[in-house]
């Protein structure tokens, strides 16, 4: 164990990327459970962290490990260490009105199709 590892007392948490805020920034949701003080029922809670992603490799839905760091901006106090598990099948693509118009049949497109057949 090196000297650096012994003195590193920074917290590390594992959470899910819930939003990409801009260049090199993501929001990470860290879920946890805590008992209610009076009723002793387990309550699901979450903490939202603003995280610095230097390589811009985290995507929405990824499970990542983050660590505390010095303040990098007004809200960012955490940094991505590694991607634990990549999201499966969550390729988010913007849809334009033209794409929707081509995919959804309307009265005018039906009329044009019947006219083209005749």
**Per residue in 33-85, pLDDT tens?**
999 999 999 999 999 999 999 999 999 999 999 999 999 999 999 999 999 99
Using a cut of 0.85, tell me whether the model's pTM lies above it.
no
CB atoms within 10 A of CB 108: 9
| CA 116 – CA 108 distance, rounded (Å) | 12
Q: Do the beta carbons of residue 65 and residue 14 sit within 8 Å?
A: yes
């Amino acid at each position: 164990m090196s000297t650096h590892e012994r003195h590193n007392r920074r917290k590390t948490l594992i959470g899910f990327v819930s939003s990409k805020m801009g260049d090199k920034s993501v929001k990470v949701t860290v879920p946890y459970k805590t008992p209610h003080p009076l009723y002793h029922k387990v309550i699901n809670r979450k903490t939202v962290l603003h995280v610095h992603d230097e390589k811009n490799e985290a995507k929405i839905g990824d499970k990542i490990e983050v660590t505390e760091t010095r303040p990098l901006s007004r809200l960012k106090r955490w940094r991505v260490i590694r991607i634990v598990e990549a999201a499966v099948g969550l390729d988010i693509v913007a849809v334009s009105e033209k794409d929707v118009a081509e995919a959804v049949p309307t009265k005018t497109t039906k009329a044009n199709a019947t006219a083209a057949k005749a």
